Amino acid sequence: MKNTRFMQRRLAGLCAPFALSSSAALAQTPPLEVTASFSILGDLVRQVGGDKVRVRTLVGPDEDAHAFQPRPSDARDIGASALVVVNGLGFDDWMTRLARSGGYKGDVVVASKGVKTLEMDGHGHDHAHDHKHGHAADPHAWQDVGNAQQYVANITAALVAADPANAETYRHNAERYGGELKALDAEIRSAFAALPAERRKVVSSHDAFAYFGEAYGIRFLSPVGVSNNAEPTAKGVARLIGQLKKEKIPAVFIENVADPRLIERIRAESGTRVGGTLYSDALSASAGPAPDYLSMMRSNFRTLHDALVAE
Amino acid sequence: MHPVPPPLIRIENLTLGYDRHPAVHHLSGDIPAGALVAVIGPNGAGKSTLLKGLAGELRPIGGRILMPTLPPGALAYLPQRGEIDHSFPVSVFDVVAMGLWREIGAFGSLSRTQRQQVRDALAAVGLSGFESRPIGSLSGGQLQRARFARLILQDAPLILLDEPFAAIDSRTVDDLVQLIVAWHREGRTVLTVVHDLEQVRRHFPTSLLLSREPVAFGPTPQVLTPEMLARARRLSEAFDEDAPECHIELPEDTPSLAATAHAHHADPGHAPAGTPHRH
Amino acid sequence: MTEFLISPFTDFAFMRRALAGCLALALGATPVGVFLLLRRMSLMGDAMSHAILPGAALGYLAFGLSLGAMTIGGIVAGLVVVLAAGLVTRASVLKEDASLAAFYLLSLAAGVMIVSLRGRNLDLLHVLFGSVLALDDGSLLLIASIASVTLFCLALLFRPLVMECFDPAFLRGVSRWSPVAHYGFLMLVVLNLVSGFHALGTLMAVGIMILPSAAARLWAKGLPMLLALAVLFAFGSGVAGLLLSFHADVPAGPAIVLVCGVVYFFSLLAAPGGLLVGRLPVRHHLKS
pLDDT for res A234: 83
Contact C159 B107 (CB under 8 A): yes
Q: Select the residue of A228, A261, A269 nearest C130 (Cβ to Cβ).
A: A261
Largest CA distance in chain B: 62
DSSP-assigned letter for residue B4: P
Model confidence pLDDT, tens digit, residues B154-180: 999 999 999 999 888 888 999 999 999
pLDDT for res C213: 96
Q: Is the pLDDT of residue B264 over 50?
A: no
- Average pLDDT (A52-63) is 88
Q: What percentage of residues in chain C have a pLDDT greater than 70?
A: 95
DSSP-assigned letter for residue A50: G
Q: Select the residue of C156, C173, C221 nearest B77 (Cβ to Cβ).
A: C173
Task: Chain A: give the shortest CA distance to residue C204, in Å.
Answer: 12
For an interface test with C, the pick among B101, B137, B154 (most C C-beta atoms closer than 10 Å) comes out as B101
Chain C residue set in contact with B, beta carbons under 8 Å? 38, 156-157, 159-160, 162-163, 165-170, 172-175, 177, 217, 220-223, 226
pLDDT for res C230: 97
Largest CA distance in chain A: 92
H or E stretch covering A46: helix A39-49
pLDDT for res C176: 84
More confident residue, B192 or B251: B192
Contact A228 C252 (CB under 8 A): no
- Average pLDDT (A185-198) is 89
Largest CA distance in chain C: 74
> Residue B15's beta-bridge partner residues?
B62
| CA distances, C197 to each of A232, B13, C104, C112, C214 (Å) | 16, 57, 16, 18, 20
Whether residue B102 lies within 8 A of chain C, CB to CB, comes out as: yes
Nearest to B40 by CA among B162, B140, B148: B162
pLDDT for res A74: 84
DSSP states along A182-217: HHHHHHHHHHHHTS-GGG-EEEESS---HHHHHHHT
At A112, phi and psi to the nearest 5?
Answer: -90, 10
pLDDT band (50, 70, 90) for residue A133: very low
Distance CA(B260)–CA(B205), nearest Å, equals 9
Chain C residue with the nearest C-alpha to that of B154: C174
pLDDT for res A44: 92
Please answer whether residues A78 and A66 qualify as being in contact, where contact means their C-beta atoms are separated by less than 8 angstroms: no
Task: Chain C: give the shortest CA distance to residue A127, in Å.
Answer: 14
Please answer whether residues A36 and A42 qualify as being in contact, where contact means their C-beta atoms are separated by less than 8 angstroms: yes
- Average pLDDT (B115-141) is 92
Nearest to A296 by CA among A256, A249, A267, A264: A256
| Partners of residue A266 in chain C, C-beta under 8 Å | 14
Task: Chain C: give the shortest CA distance to residue B221, in Å.
Answer: 33
pLDDT for res A121: 61
Contact A259 C131 (CB under 8 A): yes
DSSP-assigned letter for residue C177: -
Rounded to the nearest integer, the mean pLDDT of chain B is: 81
Model confidence pLDDT, tens digit, residues B46-97: 899 999 999 888 888 888 888 888 887 789 999 987 778 888 999 999 999 9
Chains B and A touch (3+ CB pairs under 8 A): no
Distance CA(C119)–CA(C113), nearest Å, equals 10
First to last CA, chain C: 47
Nearest to C156 by CA among C187, C125, C196: C187
pLDDT for res B257: 43
pLDDT band (50, 70, 90) for residue C32: very high
pLDDT for res C214: 95
Whether residue B101 lies within 8 A of chain C, CB to CB, comes out as: yes
Q: Is the pLDDT of residue B248 over 50?
A: yes
pLDDT band (50, 70, 90) for residue C104: confident
Q: What percentage of residues in chain B have a pLDDT greater than 70?
A: 82
Lowest-pLDDT choice from A107-116, B141-150, B241-250: B241-250
Model confidence pLDDT, tens digit, residues A292-304: 999 999 999 998 8
Amino acid at C210: I
> How many beta-carbon contacts under 8 Å exist across A and C?
92
pLDDT for res A34: 92
Q: How many C-beta atoms surround the C-beta of residue A63 within 10 A? A: 23
Contact C167 B107 (CB under 8 A): no
Lowest-pLDDT choice from B89-103, B261-275, C53-67: B261-275
Q: Is the pLDDT of residue A227 over 60?
A: no
H or E stretch covering A146: helix A145-162
Q: Helices C53-63 and C96-117: crossing angle, nearest 10°?
A: 30
Distance CA(B243)–CA(A218), nearest Å, equals 88
Whether residue B73 lies within 8 A of chain C, CB to CB, comes out as: yes
Lowest-pLDDT choice from A12-26, A69-83, C153-167, C250-264: A12-26
ipTM of this complex > 0.90?
Answer: no
Residue C110 CB-density burial (10 A; 0-12 exposed, 13-18 middle, 19+ buried): middle
pLDDT for res C68: 78
Contact B89 C167 (CB under 8 A): no
For an interface test with A, the pick among C116, C123, C128, C249 (most A C-beta atoms closer than 10 Å) comes out as C123
Task: Chain C: give the shortest CA distance to residue B154, in Å.
Answer: 9
Q: Select the residue of C160, C165, C223 nearest B85 (Cβ to Cβ).
A: C165
For A6-15, the CB contacts below 8 A with 24+ separation are: none
Model confidence pLDDT, tens digit, residues C72-91: 888 888 888 888 888 888 88
Q: How many C-beta atoms surround the C-beta of residue A60 within 10 A? A: 17
| Chain B touching partners, 3 or more CB pairs below 8 A | C
State the sign of the Cα–Cα–Cα–Cα dihedral B265, B271, B275, B277.
Answer: negative
Nearest to B183 by CA among B98, B119, B140, B124: B124
How many helices and strands (H and E) does chain C possess? 14, 0
More confident residue, B235 or C255: C255
Nearest to C230 by CA among C245, C211, C216, C251: C216
Contact A238 C12 (CB under 8 A): yes
Chains C and B touch (3+ CB pairs under 8 A): yes
- Strand, coil or helix: what is B22? strand
pLDDT for res C124: 63
Q: Helices C13-38 and C223-248: crossing angle, nearest 10°?
A: 140
Task: Chain B: give the shortest CA distance to residue C172, in Å.
Answer: 9
For an interface test with C, the pick among B98, B107, B109, B147 (most C C-beta atoms closer than 10 Å) comes out as B98
Chain B residue with the nearest C-alpha to that of C178: B106
Q: Is the pLDDT of residue A76 over 60?
A: yes
Question: A117: Cβ–Cβ under 8 A, 6 or more apart, which residues?
Answer: A89, A137, A138, A141
pLDDT for res B81: 76
Lowest-pLDDT choice from A112-121, A249-258, A260-269, B10-19: A249-258
pLDDT band (50, 70, 90) for residue B195: confident
| Partners of residue B102 in chain C, C-beta under 8 Å | 174
Q: Is the pLDDT of residue A257 over 60?
A: no
pLDDT for res C149: 96
Chains C and A touch (3+ CB pairs under 8 A): yes
Distance CA(C61)–CA(C114), nearest Å, equals 9
Task: Chain A: give the shortest CA distance to residue C224, in Å.
Answer: 34
pLDDT for res C3: 82
pLDDT band (50, 70, 90) for residue B45: confident
pLDDT for res A10: 61
Amino acid at A172: H
Whether residue B93 lies within 8 A of chain C, CB to CB, comes out as: no
- Average pLDDT (A123-144) is 63
Q: Is the pLDDT of residue C64 over 90?
A: no
Kindly provide the residue ranges of all beta strands, DSSP E only, lying in A21-125, ordered along the sequence: 32-38, 53-59, 83-86, 108-110
Contact C162 B94 (CB under 8 A): yes
Distance CA(A127)–CA(A86), nearest Å, equals 13
Contact C136 A64 (CB under 8 A): no
Whether residue B89 lies within 8 A of chain C, CB to CB, comes out as: yes
For an interface test with C, the pick among B48, B52, B75, B90 (most C C-beta atoms closer than 10 Å) comes out as B90
Contact C13 A60 (CB under 8 A): no
Distance CA(B222)–CA(B264), nearest Å, equals 9
Pairing of strands A251-255, A273-278: parallel
Amino acid at B161: L
pLDDT band (50, 70, 90) for residue C121: low
Amino acid at C98: A
More confident residue, B139 or B248: B139
At A279, phi and psi to the nearest 5?
Answer: -100, 120
Q: Select the residue of C157, C174, C223 nearest B89 (Cβ to Cβ).
A: C223
For an interface test with A, the pick among C5, C118, C131 (most A C-beta atoms closer than 10 Å) comes out as C131
Q: Select the residue of C11, C136, C249 nearest A235 (Cβ to Cβ).
A: C249
pLDDT for res B211: 85
Amino acid at B25: H
The length of chain A in residues reads 311
Whether residue B79 lies within 8 A of chain C, CB to CB, comes out as: yes
Q: Select the residue of C122, C131, C245 nearest A235 (Cβ to Cβ).
A: C245
